[in-house]
A and B are shown apart, each in its own frame.
Chain A
Amino acid sequence: MSDQAISIIFFVLIIALTLGITVWASRKNKSTSDHYVAGGEIKGWQNGLAISGDYLSAASFLGIAGAISLTGFSGFYLSIGFLVAYLVVLLLVAEPLRNLGKYTFADMLASRFNKSSVRSAAALSTIAISMFYMVAQLNGAGALIELLLGINYTLSVIVIGILMTFYIVAGGMVATTWIQIVKAVLLIAGTLTLSFLVLAQPSIGFNPINLFNEVDSQIGSEMVVPPPPAGLVAGLDVISLNIALVLGTAGLPHILIRFLTVPDAKTARSSIVTATWIIGLFYLLTPVLGYGAALFVGQDAIAKQNPAGNTAAPQLAEALGGPIFFAFISAVAFATIVAVVAGLVVAASSAFAHDFYSNVIRGGEASEQEQLRAARFTAVGISILAILLAIPAASLNVAFLVALAFAVAASANVPVILLTIFWQRFNTTGAVTGILVGLISCIVLIILSPNVMTGPNPEPPLTPIIPIEAPFPFVYPALFSVPLGFLGCYLGTLLGGRGAEREREQGVQVSYDEIRVRSLTGISNIEQEIHEATPQEEPRTT
Chain B
Amino acid sequence: MERQDEWIRVERTSAFKELVQKRKAFIIPATIFFLVFYFGLPFLTAFTTVLDANVIGAINLAYIYAFAQFVMTWVLMHIYVSRANRWDDLVDRARREAAEGDETSDTDGAGRSE
Contacts and interface: CB of A to CB of B under 8 A. Distances in A.
A280 interface: yes
Given A229-B47, A235-B46, A522-B91, 7 more contacts: A77-B42, A83-B70, A86-B73, A242-B38, A284-B70, A520-B19, A534-B103
Nearest to A223: B58
A273 B102 CA distance: 38
Interface of B: 3-4, 6-11, 16, 19-20, 23, 27, 30-31, 34-35, 38-39, 41-43, 45-49, 51-52, 56-60, 62-63, 66-67, 69-70, 72-74, 76-78, 80-81, 84-85, 88, 91-96, 98-100, 102-103
B69 A221 contact: no
A116 interface: no
7 contacts: A224-B60, A269-B85, A514-B7, A516-B20, A523-B91, A533-B95, A534-B99
A530 B99 CA distance: 5
A269 B81 contact: yes
A280 B68 CA distance: 12
A224 B7 contact: no
B110 to A, nearest CB: 13
Given A212-B59, A266-B88, A84 B73 contact: yes
A213 interface: yes
B62 A526 contact: no
Interface string A515-542: 0111011110011011101110001010
Pairs A-B, 3 closest by C-beta atoms = A216-B58, A226-B45, A235-B46
B69 A84 contact: yes
Contacts of A396: none
A367 B92 CA distance: 38
A517 B16 contact: yes
Interface stretch (A87-95, A139-147, A163-171): A87-95
A289 to B, nearest CB: 15
Q: Main SS of the interface on chain A?
A: helix
Contacts of A234: 46
B112 to A, nearest CB: 14
A272 B31 CA distance: 17
A531 B57 contact: no
A395 B74 CA distance: 35
Interface string A91-129: 110010000000000000000000000000000000000
Given A513-B8, A514-B7, A535-B100, A273 B81 contact: yes
Interface string A207-238: 00110110111000100111111000011101
Contacts of A217: 58
A80 B66 contact: yes
A526 B47 contact: no
Interface string A262-303: 000110011011001100100110010000000000000000
A207 B96 CA distance: 57
A95 B34 CA distance: 19
B77 A90 contact: yes
A76 interface: yes
Interface of A: 73, 76-77, 80-81, 83-84, 86-88, 90-92, 95, 209-210, 212-213, 215-217, 221, 224-229, 234-236, 238-239, 241-242, 246, 265-266, 269-270, 272-273, 276-277, 280, 283-284, 287, 511, 513-514, 516-518, 520-523, 526-527, 529-531, 533-535, 539, 541
A535 B42 contact: no
A521 B94 contact: yes
Contacts of B35: 246
A49 to B, nearest CB: 17
B46 A530 contact: no
A273 B34 contact: no
B77 A86 contact: yes
Contact of A92 (B6, B10, B27, B92): B27
Given A213-B58, A530-B95, A534-B102, A87 B3 contact: no
A511 B91 CA distance: 20
Contacts of B10: 517, 521, 523, 526, 530
A59 to B, nearest CB: 18
A270 B81 contact: yes
A80 B38 CA distance: 9
Contact of B57 (A213, A269, A270, A526): A213
Contact of A516 (B11, B48, B59): B11
A539 B38 contact: no
B77 A87 contact: yes
A238 B62 contact: no
Contacts of B6: 526-527, 530
Contacts of B77: 86-87, 90, 272-273, 276
A229 B43 CA distance: 10
